[in-house]
Amino acid sequence: MENPFEDRLRFERRVPPCAIVIFGANGDLTQRKLIPALYRLAYERRFPPGIAIIGNSRTPMTDDQFREKMREAVQKFLEDSPFDVDLWNDFAKGLFYCSGDIGDPAMYAGLKVRIAQVAEERGTAGNVLFYLSTQPSQYIPVVQNLGAVGLNNSAGWTRIIIEKPFGHDTESSNVLHDAVRQVFRESQVYRIDHYLGKETVQNVLAFRFGNGIFEPLWNRRYVSHVQITAAESIGVGSRGGYYQEAGALRDMIQNHLLQVMATIAMEPPAVFEPDAVRDERAKLLRSIRTLKPEDVATHAVAGQYGAARVGGEDALGFRQEKGVDPESQTNTYAAMTFFVENWRWAGVPFYIRTGKRMPKRVTDIAIQFNDAPHSVFVDAPIMSRSGRGPNLLILRIQPEEGISLRFRSKQPGAGMRLRPVSMDFNYGSSFGERSPSAYETLLLDAMAGDSTLYTRQDMVDASWKAVQPVLDVWSETKHHFPNYDAGSWGPQASEEMLQRRGHTWRVP
């Protein structure tokens, strides 16, 4: 029997009651992102009554101490919303804590009892969502222990969210997958890539498949090349230790940016349903040409920032950052040229770059269209001095979300002088309402059983396959780091990578 009061036009999508079990509840991600996102969902009336959150970490705490700690976190990290005491008090009734070492099998027996008690008390109907917000090295022990006590199944549904990184390379990704699949079915596993939860990445799907006018241009015949840029102005800060092990290629390109590229380049799904969308993303990722070792030098560039003056201040080089080896070979910048081997994209380069300590924080996708075959305007050559044709479509993901289309227009006055102009759609000014954070979107999706914006194992496999040859070659290479100044757009070799095909990086 359906709810007779349902009104899909007016009411926000609702999710069933459930218990959310967060491993690593004392950690940074939980306090900065997860709990504020969950509180915000409660504030927006997106939760059913009876939702429960059970935190786990090694630190001994009572339920009340945990609630107090989470209250402080929400007050500190909540963005765009007021903190309401009445609502918090109600929300906090659903917060519980279960301390224990996640490596200790006995802890899981206690957790199982606690989940059952909470289910009884809060009416969660046996639905459980596990969230692995721990060190990646703990993923496998947690999953195995959950399986050992039968927490991989319940009277309702059981799902598990795994944070990236999904392995350190192809091999470790497979090891993780094997361990997970022995305990959970693929349909229970939600691999989170918060980039896909960003409103503007979702808007790429709306832009491509909700409009008929762009699709005919979306192919090798009209597109010269695609540039995806994800730049950060800050350095590694306190993440030096972690970052040293990961590097820009693993931290950004292998997961976030290849997912963005897949969203840009995938074929239209037949329906907007989780598996249909993910099938197309996976197919695209599998179509990426695998580099031969000898091609790595011409298709990939590693960089590391060095000390420089930025904005009147001395910025540290990566090797001077806290927790970083003074001889570190870690890339803080990575750029790659990818090719997609299918009929739509054959021969079209997809340039992806990401880096720390760049001139500004920006993420965007630029689709450079081919030049007109012949210029009828003698004094206005098609190509500009930068080597770029006039038509450029820019999908801005952050910070100023929106879409710009650049084209040429006649400059007012006598004669036929042309100049580029930009037609802008600004997401913020057209839809001024607050966008949910990526974690709000993704948590709600997982509770609703919607995995459209989550990564599937075959997508993870294909992404690792696309970058593994580069990782292999770079691990054997002694890089001459640092090779770019903090506050610059990256190493010269990156420009040269594009110049080989007559292209240049745009300045976002």
Partner 1 sequence: MPAVQAEKLLQQLDEVWVSLGKQQEEAGGVLRACAITLIAVVDEAADIGETLADIMHDNPSRAIVIRISDDGRPLSARAFAQCWMPFGRRQQICCEQVEMAASSASFADVPSVLRGLLAPDLPVVLWVRHPDALKLPAMAAVMALAHKVVVEPRGYEDWKWLMDEVARLNRAGIVIADLAWTRITRWRDLTARLFDAPERRAQLAQVDRLVIEHSSPEPGPAVRYMAAWIANSLGRRLDTRFHQAGSTKYWQIQSVVLSGPSVEFALRRTEHQVVQMQAASLESCTLFPQLKEAELLREELAILGPDPVFQKVLAAQ
In whole angstroms, the minimum distance from the beta carbon of 360 to partner 1 comes to 13
- 227 sits in which H/E element: strand 223-231
Binds partner 1 by CB under 8 A, chosen from 17, 24, 269, 508? 17
Stretch that binds partner 1, among 5-13, 133-141, 172-180, 196-204 (CB under 8 A): 5-13
Q: Does 212 bind partner 1 (CB under 8 A)?
A: no
Yes or no: say if 69 and 61 are a contact pair by the CB < 8 Å rule: yes
Binds partner 1 by CB under 8 A, chosen from 116, 125, 140, 149? 125
Stretch that binds partner 1, among 1-9, 58-66, 332-340, 445-453 (CB under 8 A): 1-9
Q: Does 211 bind partner 1 (CB under 8 A)?
A: no
Residue closer to partner 1, measured from CB, 1 or 271: 1
Backbone φ, ψ for residue 297 (5° rounding)? -60, -30
Binds partner 1 by CB under 8 A, chosen from 105, 237, 428, 502? 428
CB proximity list for 224: less than 8 A, separation 6 or greater: 348, 368, 369, 370, 371, 389, 503
Binds partner 1 by CB under 8 A, chosen from 1, 213, 376, 414? 1
Q: Does 210 bind partner 1 (CB under 8 A)?
A: no
Q: Does 126 bind partner 1 (CB under 8 A)?
A: no
Q: Is the peptide bond before 482 cis (omega within 30 degrees of 0)?
A: yes
In whole angstroms, the minimum distance from the beta carbon of 16 to partner 1 comes to 7
Stretch that binds partner 1, among 101-109, 167-175, 352-360, 420-428 (CB under 8 A): 420-428
Give the DSSP letter string of 1-21. Answer: ---TT--TTTSPP-----EEE
What residue type is assigned to position 224 of the chain? S
Q: Does 429 bind partner 1 (CB under 8 A)?
A: yes
Question: x/- binding map, residues 42-71, to partner 1, per CB under 8 A?
Answer: -x-x--xxx---------------------
Binds partner 1 by CB under 8 A, chosen from 323, 431, 448, 500? 431
Residue 329 and residue 326: Cα distance in Å, rounded? 9
Residue 189 and residue 471: Cα distance in Å, rounded? 27
Residues that contact partner 1, how many (by CB under 8 A): 34
Q: Is 299 a catalytic residue?
A: no
Stretch that binds partner 1, among 2-10, 18-26, 182-190, 377-385 (CB under 8 A): 2-10
Binds partner 1 by CB under 8 A, chosen from 424, 458, 472, 495? 424
Residue 475 and residue 58: Cα distance in Å, rounded? 35
How many CA atoms lie less than 13 Å away from 262 in the CB half-sphere?
A: 31
Q: Which of 256, 299, 374, 480 is catalytic?
A: 256
Stretch that binds partner 1, among 242-250, 361-369, 384-392, 429-437 (CB under 8 A): 429-437
Residue closer to partner 1, measured from CB, 7 or 313: 7
Q: Which residues of 43-61 are buried (b: 16+ CB within 10 A; e: fewer)?
A: beebbeebbbbbbbbeeeb
Residue 506 and residue 508: Cα distance in Å, rounded? 6
Give the DSSP letter string of 258-314. Answer: HHHHHHHHSPPPSSSSHHHHHHHHHHHHHTBPPPPGGGHHHHEEEE-EE-EEETTEE
Question: x/- binding map, residues 303-322, to partner 1, per CB under 8 A?
Answer: --------------------
Residue closer to partner 1, measured from CB, 18 or 107: 18
- Give the count of beta carbons closer than 10 Å to the beta carbon of residue 227: 23
Q: Does 4 bind partner 1 (CB under 8 A)?
A: yes
- Which 74-103 positions form the footprint of partner 1 (CB under 8 A)? 84, 86-87, 90
Using alpha carbons, list the distances in angstroms from residue 298 to 43, 381, 500: 51, 30, 9
Please, where are the H alpha helices in 123-222? 139-148, 170-181, 199-209
Stretch that binds partner 1, among 133-141, 275-283, 430-438, 495-503 (CB under 8 A): 430-438
Backbone φ, ψ for residue 92 (5° rounding)? -65, -25
Residue 120 and residue 61: Cα distance in Å, rounded? 22
Residue 65 and residue 153: Cα distance in Å, rounded? 30
In whole angstroms, the minimum distance from the beta carbon of 409 to partner 1 comes to 14
- Residues carrying an active site annotation: 256
Point out which residues bind partner 1 (CB under 8 A): 1, 3-7, 9-12, 14, 16-17, 43, 45, 48-50, 84, 86-87, 90, 123, 125, 399-400, 424, 426, 428-433
